[in-house]
Chains A and B, each alone.
Chain A
Amino acid sequence: MSCAKPLSWETLVDWWAADLDEAGTSSVEEHLLGCDVCSAVARRVAATAEALRSMVPPVVRPEQLAEMFRRGVRILENPIAPGQTCDFHFPKNADLAVHVLGGLALAPGASVEVTLRSLASGTVLGHVEDAPFDAQRGAVYLACQRDYAQLDHDLVAEVRVGKDRPAARYTILHHW
């Protein structure tokens, strides 16, 4: 298999992101329909972009959670209060667990930051600025997936509402 004029990775990413004009899109698609070499590279672009599209982010928006419920995803909610340490056993019959980090005074439009740290080392595992939240429930939804078994088992979630306020801390000890 060979290709005399291979399409660049840049062009294929632009194509996948719908960032080419009509003529450019046509030209790429005609090439891909006739070329196994470039189709194989385009499938790598597609697989990577699709993984991002279908991922569940660490902090989930309420409407995204509602949509997953509608689609039949088996979700277990685990409510936690600020300052609490919680032992959490990932249930066998759930697709996704959501730690409901509650007890927060959240007005619509509030600026919320979430930092996840390893309990053992204090290392930052993740940080989300402008994190989504459920103002009505006064909670931030932290997604927990079965695959996370290979990450640090015990973590501290710090939720800061407003830049100068102290962070609320939630400690979660995972058992897989």
Chain B
Amino acid sequence: MMTEATDSALLAAIAAGGAGRREAERALCRRYAPRIRLYGLRHLRDEDRGRDLVQTVLLGVLEASREGRVREPEQLVRFVLGTCRNAVLRLRELEGRAQPATDEVLVAAAGGEAPRDPVNAAVLLRCLGSLGDRARRVLELSFHEELESEEVATRLALSRGNVRVIRHRALAALRACLDAPARGAA
């Protein structure tokens, strides 16, 4: 089964060409697409551009694999990370969107599972309301207003370390509230 093959085995099958290449490429794309999309959303903060990143990076990785240019197959993760970094820099320079891919494997990979989960606005409001004032403000300033922790600390007269602790605890509490069974019944 290609889906369980190691990265090295997939790269070897792609480089060898022949009948197994397409299946190996599909398996590689399925494995890496969600991870690249997460990287893209973190660095580009935009779902559409995250999809562009998936296509751009996978295209680069597949081309390098076909041409046998991945020198250390067991270090494919590092190769992908380097390709992600370069692609993010290029995408940031672009005003609009990247050229859409036409390869069906890339198009399918980029359209896969998204990290964004549509959250009901009323449930989000209720869950935010269940947090303490300070925790709610830290979350709003960190993730809605996207301030750095230093600035959040200054605004709320806290230390930076305090902001980080409050932030990760509050985000975990918010996630638990959003996932609670009451959500469906709310």
Instruction: Assess whether A33 is in contact with B36, with CB atoms less than 8 Å apart.
Output: yes
Could you tell me if B35 and A39 are in contact, using CB atoms closer than 8 angstroms?
A: yes
* 13 A-B pairs (CB sep. < 8 Å): A13-B171, A17-B142, A29-B39, A32-B35, A33-B35, A44-B175, A46-B41, A47-B119, A50-B115, A51-B119, A52-B174, A53-B144, A145-B121
A148 near B121: Cβ-Cβ < 8 Å: yes
Known: A33-B81, A39-B38, A55-B121. 18 other contacts (CB 8 A): A10-B164, A13-B164, A15-B42, A17-B142, A19-B148, A32-B35, A32-B39, A43-B38, A46-B42, A46-B115, A48-B178, A51-B116, A55-B144, A126-B125, A145-B121, A145-B122, A149-B122, A151-B122
Chain A: which residue is nearest B165 at the CB level? A10
Chain B proximity mask over A36-47: 1 for CB below 8 Å, otherwise 0: 100100111111
The answer to whether A14 has its CB under 8 Å from any CB of chain B is yes
Query: Across the A-B interface, how many residue pairs have beta carbons closer than 8 Å?
Result: 114
Q: Mark B49-78, 1 if CB is under 8 A from A, else 0.
A: 000000000000000000000000000011
Ranked nearest first, the 9 interchain pairs of A and B with the lowest CB-CB distance are: A52-B143, A147-B121, A34-B77, A47-B117, A51-B119, A13-B168, A46-B115, A43-B115, A147-B122
Q: Is A81 an interface residue (CB 8 A)?
A: no
**Are A47 and B115 in contact, with the CB atoms below 8 A?**
yes
| Residues of the B chain whose Cβ atoms lie less than 8 Å from the Cβ of A43 | 34, 38, 115
Contact residues of A with B, CB < 8 Å?
A: 9-10, 13-19, 26, 29-30, 32-34, 36, 39, 42-53, 55-58, 125-126, 145-151
Digitize B12-43: 1 where CB-to-A-CB distance is under 8 Å, 0 elsewhere. 00000000000000000000101110110110
Asked if residues B115 and A10 are in contact (CB atoms below 8 Å), the reply is: no
Interface size on B, residues (CB 8 A): 43
| Distance A149 CA – B120 CA, assembled complex (angstroms) | 11
Cβ contact within 8 Å between A19 and B149: yes
Question: How far apart are the CA atoms of A49 and B123 in the complex, in Å?
Answer: 15
A125 vs B122: C-alpha distance when bound (angstroms): 11
Write the nearest CB–CB distance from B32 to chain A, whole angstroms.
Answer: 7
Across-interface contacts of B45 in A (CB, < 8 A) = 53
Please state if B144 and A48 are interface contacts (CB–CB under 8 Å): no
Contact A10 B168 (CB under 8 A): yes
A125 CA / B125 CA spacing, docked (Å): 9
A149 to chain B, nearest CB (A): 7
| Given A47-B116, A48-B171, A53-B144: A33 in contact with B41 (beta carbons within 8 A) | no
List the A side residues contacting B42 at CB < 8 Å: 15-16, 46
Whole-angstrom CA separation of A34 from B171 in the bound complex: 25
- Using Cβ atoms and an 8 Å threshold, which residues of chain A touch B144? 52-53, 55, 57
Residue of A nearest to B145 (CB): A53
Contact residues in A for B148 (Cβ distance below 8 Å): 18-19
A19 x B120 contact (CB < 8 A): no
**What's the least CB distance linking A52 to chain B, in Å?**
4
B139 adjacent to chain A (CB < 8 Å): yes
For A29, the chain B residues whose CB sits under 8 A away are 39, 81, 84
Instruction: Say which residue of A49, A58, A146 sits within 8 Å of B143 (CB atoms).
Output: A49
